Amino acid sequence: MDMISSSGRESIARMIQSSEEKTEDYGTKFLEDSMSLISKSQISDMLKTTQHQLIVLGNGFDLECGLHSRFADFEKARLKIIELSSVAKDTNGESFIQRLRKNGITAWDVILAGDVYRSWSDIESAIQGWMTQLNEDESTPYSVVTDFLNEEDATEMRILHQPNCGVSQWLSEKTEIRVAQFLYCSYFDCRHTGNTMNIWTTAEVAELMLEELHEFERDFAEYLSQEVANNSEYQENALKLLKRIFEILPENYQVDSNHKFSILDFNYTNPFQRVVENSLDNFSVTVVNVHGSLQDENIIFGIDGKEYMTEPDALPFTKTYRLLLLGNEDVSKLVYPESPRTVMGTSTDLIKFYGHSLASSDYSYFQAIFDEIDLYKSNVRLIFLYRPWIKDDGERISEIEARDGMCHKVSQLLTTYGSTMENKDHGKNLMHKLLLEGRLSVRQI
C-alpha cells in the first residue's frame, strides 16, 4: 500500500483540480503538496539516509501537457515550404533552391522530404543513417553526396543555380543527388575560385552537414519557443502531471522527511523552474535538460555515441561529443549510488520513467545510470509509467495496446542492458530477478 497521509491525498486532489487563479505560484504549491506526503512522526527522524528518486521524462510528457512538440508537427510546415517553392513563380531572379534557403530550409529538410518521420528516434535514425558507416560494403550517403559534387559533368547542378530551372527534375531525383544539388547551390559562391570549382572532400561535406544540423536545431528551438508562448496552461499542466508522477509509489514505500528528487528531462522545455527555485534543504529538486534547453539556447539532436566514437566524421554528430561541448555540471546530481561508508548521505532508491520512447538512441544514458546504481545488486526500484497516447487522428489508443507497447519497450531495454553485464548469466536473469524482488513494475498513470 502506498504510504500517503490523508492530508497528503487532500493536497494532491487540490493540486490536480483546475485553478481559476492563474497568478498562483504553482512551483511553491508543488513543494508544499509534496511535503504533505511526509507523516509528522517522521520529521524528527533526520539521521536517516536521504531518499532520492530519479524521474526520467520524454516528449510524451510535453505532448500530454498540450504542446505540439512532435517532430512531425515541426516538419510538416517545412515540407509544405518545399512543395510551395517548387510551384512558385520567380519574381526576383531567385533559383528554386535559393527560395528554399530564404525560407529556412536546410539539407536535413531535403533528406526528410523523402520520408515520413514521426518521432525523435526517427530523426536521430536519419542522422545515423546518413553520417555513419552502417554497412562496410556500402558507402555512407554523405560520401555518395561528395562523389556527386566532384563529378566532372556538373551541368545539372549549374542548371539548378539558375532561376526557374530544373525543379521538376530535382524533385524526382534520389535523395543523395538532391542533397548534393542543394549543397552545390547553397555554397556555390564560397566554393568557386575563378572559373573552377574546388574539390569537395568527405570531411568538408560532413562539416557542412553539421552546419546544416545546427541551423535545423535553431529553427526547431524557435518553433518550440513559440509553442510554449502560445500555450498559457502549459506550465500549470506540467506541474500537475509531475505531481501525479511523484505521488505514484511502490508498495510499502514510505516518503521520509529527507527527500531529494532529480528530473532527467529529454525535452528542451523547462516548466519546473519555480520548483527548483523554491527547493528546501531537506526536500530538494534538481532538473537536467540533458540535450540542452530553450532557455540556454543550446538544444541538440544527435546519435548514440557508443558505436561511432572512432569515426572522425560521425563523432561531432554523437550525443556524447555534443554533451561534452555543453559541459552540463548538473549531470552528476542525477543519481546517488548507495555506499556503506556514507553516513547521512543520499541514496537513489526509486527511478520512474514517463513519456520516453526508450529508443536505442538513448540507451547509453540508461546503461550509465543502471551501472552507477548497480541495478542487479542494489535495492533500486524501477517504475515505467504509461498512458494511452493520442494518435494522429485525435483518438487515444486502447489501454491494452498502450500497456503491451510499454512492456515490449521495457523488455528490450533491460534485455539490451543485461547483454552488457560482465556476468552473462546475471544479464540474462536481470529482468526475472527484478520482477521476483518487486523492483520492476509497469503502471498506468
194 vs 312: which has the higher pLDDT: 312
pLDDT tens figures, 328-366: 666 667 888 876 655 567 889 999 999 999 988 888 899
pLDDT tens figures, 78-120: 888 877 766 566 556 677 788 888 889 999 998 887 654 445 5
In a domain, 219, yes or no: yes
Q: Alpha carbon of 233 to those of 70, 225, 272, 363, 378: distances in Å?
A: 18, 14, 13, 32, 40
Residues 333 and 193 in one domain: no
In a domain, 374, yes or no: yes
Q: What percent of the chain has pLDDT over 90?
A: 45
Residues 246 and 361 in one domain: yes
Domain-ending residue, one of 174, 205, 226:
226
| Cβ atoms of 249 and 3 closer than 8 Å | yes
Report the alpha-carbon distance of residue 338 to residue 347 in Å, rounded. Answer: 5
Domain-ending residue, one of 180, 211, 226:
226
Residues 202 and 256 in one domain: no
Domain-ending residue, one of 184, 206, 226:
226
DSSP E strands, 182-316: 192-193, 196-197, 259-265, 283-289
In a domain, 309, yes or no: no
Report the alpha-carbon distance of residue 297 to residue 123 in Å, rounded. Answer: 20
| Cβ atoms of 138 and 317 closer than 8 Å | no
In a domain, 304, yes or no: no
Q: Which amino acid is at 251?
A: E
- b/e map 222-246, b = 16+ CB within 10 Å: ebbeebbeeeeebbbbbbbbbbbbb
Report the alpha-carbon distance of residue 289 to residue 173 in Å, rounded. Answer: 39
Report the alpha-carbon distance of residue 443 to residue 410 in Å, rounded. Answer: 12
Residues 118 and 95 in one domain: yes
In a domain, 302, yes or no: no
Residue 381 is predicted with a pLDDT of 97
Residue 34 is predicted with a pLDDT of 65
Residue 389 is predicted with a pLDDT of 83
Residues 258 and 406 in one domain: yes
Residues 412 and 434 in one domain: yes
Instruction: Show Cβ contacts of residue 125 under 8 Å, excluding neighbours closer than 6 positions.
Output: 361
Residues 246 and 382 in one domain: yes
* Domains: count for the chain: 2
- Structural domain boundaries enclosing 419: 6-67+233-290+328-444
Question: What's this model's pTM, rounded to 2 decimal places?
Answer: 0.83
Per the listing, cell 534547453 goes with 293
pLDDT tens figures, 165-198: 555 666 677 889 889 988 988 887 665 555 566 7
In a domain, 392, yes or no: yes
Task: Tell me whether residue 9 is exposed, middle or buried, using C-beta atoms within 10 angstroms of its C-beta: 0 to 12, 13 to 18, 19 or more.
Answer: middle
Written as one string, the DSSP assignment of 369-425 is: HHHHHTTTTS--EEEEEE-PPB-TTSPBPPHHHHHHHHHHHHHHHHHHHHTTSSSHH
Residue 259 carries which DSSP code? E
Relative to beta strand 192-193, strand 196-197 is antiparallel
Assign 9 a pLDDT band (cuts: 50, 70, 90): very low
Q: Give the angle 156-158-160 at the CA atoms, nearest 5°.
A: 75
pLDDT tens figures, 14-68: 433 433 444 456 666 666 666 665 554 454 444 556 789 999 999 999 999 999 9
In a domain, 196, yes or no: yes
Residues 253 and 370 in one domain: yes
Residues 151 and 268 in one domain: no
Residues 139 and 209 in one domain: yes
| Cβ atoms of 264 and 361 closer than 8 Å | no
Q: Which amino acid is at 315?
A: L
